[in-house]
Structure formats: structure tokens, C-alpha cells
Homo-oligomer: A and B are copies of this chain.
């Protein structure tokens, strides 16, 4: 019998991208996986054809309400809801249901961090959905609950992890991450109008004020041998739909040189299908990962100032959200981890 998959928040950008990936997934194409309920809140009752014309296979489907009844009876439920709504829904889903949450509700292990950055009650944490973090792949494979990582934390974690884990830098990093506008979601807003975002670049929530900051601290500190890692994070909005380019800088630890850095990065990701350390001198570009599940990474040593400058690019909606979510689904279902996840990007 086929695996049935529901998507809550199906008409948002995360939900739509999950569907795009599922529609090209070999398990779907062979009939082993079926797309079940597509739920939403304000869009309930509307057709997929009207809401997401880029998914013509589903155009006759309708969005239904995000109720217990509509989500019940599926083997897998993706939650692509605004932060703060996943916990309640998750409670209504049986333990045998694989629940993959694209929101922040279950990402933080530390209640104090949650309270400092989020409203609402702390709901606990689930296995964290970056399989490339040592130990996480196994935990995800054995869990029925997965908290997909945020888009900025995925970029920063995968960019900085080799350096942190191998002690190549001081545990005090600065991250400036340029992001496309789809990260803000599909909701009406003056600040996110085309006229306010085209031909325009602006930083927002500088320093540690963005909610993704504690997630980065948590991820990197987990592997640091020098105590907790301090992260100063500033996102920058750029005029493109998709993509994140994070530039991560930190002081090199004493005695570390470019050769050691390169060796560490190449070794760390040697067996990872979705992490590509680029050849020396070649910089990541977001267009080279759009639509794919890849992270392209470069690690540059600035000898003059004694800094490491890591650049990492991914597609915020794919590897940064829905691609990461499907990767976790694959693991948790025992499917090939890379199934349905493109390595080749839609460029130019």
C-alpha cells in the first residue's frame, strides 16, 4: 500500500516547495507515495490551480481546512505553518505518523533560548533536521518527529561546522547572510512589495535579534571543543526570489593555515551528497543551487588579518526548508536519502 502524505500549510511557499519535490519524487512517480490532504487556513476552499499554478498536476485539488479530521489517516504529515501552530496540530497526530515540522516550534533544546526569542509556551524539541550534522542522520532515521532547520541556520551551520568541529577558529563568529525575498513567506506586506524590494538591499534584525540566532548557537556549540560559540548574525534582503549566501567570518585559531582549512572542509563533506566544497578560488553563487538541494561552500583564509572567511550558498526554499524536509522524510521512511532531491540547479 502506498505511503500517504499530507501537507498542512500547503499553499505557502514551504508547502508548495514540498509538493514540487514530491511530484518529481521517484516514489510518487512509481505510485508508492501518494499526495493526500492539502490543508490551509485563509486559502481553504480554493483550488491548487488558482493558488499554485506552477503545480499543474494538482490543479484540480482543493485546499481544505487544517483540521484534525483532514490531517488524520496519513503516514506522513508535513507542517508548513507559521511559527506557533505546529505544537497543537502535532499533538493530534498519532505517534505512528511521521511528522515533519518546517516551523521553529521544536527546534530549540533550551527553554531559555526559546523564551528569549519566541512568544508562546515552549513545546520541547524534536530531533533536528540537518542530517549532515554528525549523529543527526541516525537520530532522524529513527524518529517519527523531525524539526526541520531554519534556512539561515542550515546555511550557517553547514558553512561553519567543519571549522568549529575541528577547532580551526575561535568560537566567536560573525555571519552576514544575504537572502532572497521568498524567505518572508506568502503574506501581504508593504515592506515586501516588489517595488520595495527590487533594486534594493537592506539589512534587518541586526546582531543577535533575529530568531534564527539561537538555533545557530545551539548547532555550532554542539560540536565546539572550546565551549559555546558566540554568533553575531545579520540578515540582508536582496532582490531575488530564492537563495541565501552566508558570509561567515571568525578569527583563525593559532597555527591554522589555509591548507589545514581546505583539508578539514574537504574531509568533512567528502561523503555528503548535498554539500559541495568548491575548488580553491571558486566562490559559491546562489543561482547554482536554485531548485536543488545542494549547499556550495568555500573556505578562504585571509592571512593578513588572520581570519577565516567561509561563504555558503543554498536555496532557502529547497535545502533551506522543503528539500531538507524531504531529505528527512526519506531518512525516516528508509528511502534513499537523495531520492527526489535534485543536485543540479536551474541556472541561469
Contact = CB atoms under 8 A, between A and B. Distances in A.
A165 interface: no
Contact of A309 (B52, B53, B234): B234
A155 to B, nearest CB: 12
Interface in A175-189: 176, 178, 180-182, 184, 186-189
Contacts of A345: 20, 54-55
Contacts of A176: 176, 247, 249
Interface of A: 13, 16, 19-20, 23-24, 26, 29, 49-50, 52-57, 59, 172, 174, 176, 178, 180-182, 184, 186-190, 192-204, 206-209, 230-232, 234, 236, 238-243, 245, 247, 249, 276, 278-279, 282-292, 294, 296, 298, 300-305, 307, 309, 311, 313, 342-348
Given A176-B176, A195-B13, A241-B199, A207 B53 contact: no
Contact of A201 (B54, B245, B307): B245
A114 to B, nearest CB: 16
A54 B194 contact: no
A96 B285 CA distance: 41
B249 A200 contact: no
A49 B192 CA distance: 19
Given A23-B344, A347-B54, A305 B207 contact: yes
Nearest to A16: B347
Contacts of A23: 343-344
B344 A56 contact: yes
The 9 closest A-B pairs by CB, nearest first: A207-B302, A194-B197, A200-B287, A181-B194, A54-B347, A54-B345, A202-B285, A188-B188, A176-B176
A283 B203 contact: yes
B13 A206 contact: no
A305 B230 contact: yes
Given A24-B344, A232-B302, A201 B288 contact: no
Given A54-B292, A245-B201, A304-B230, A186 B178 contact: no
A286 B346 contact: no
Contact of A342 (B24, B196, B343): B24
Contacts of A249: 174, 176, 232, 234, 249
A105 to B, nearest CB: 23
B343 A202 contact: no
Which interface residue of A172, A243, A285, A346 has the most chain B CB atoms within 10 A?
A346
Contacts of A190: 186-188
B283 A20 contact: no
A193 B193 contact: yes
A252 B243 CA distance: 31
A50 B309 CA distance: 21
B309 A232 contact: yes
A198 B240 contact: yes
A283 B204 contact: yes
Given A172-B305, A286-B202, A287-B200, A239 B236 contact: no
A159 to B, nearest CB: 12
A91 B334 CA distance: 50
Which interface residue of A13, A276, A294, A343 has the most chain B CB atoms within 10 A?
A343
A238 B241 contact: no
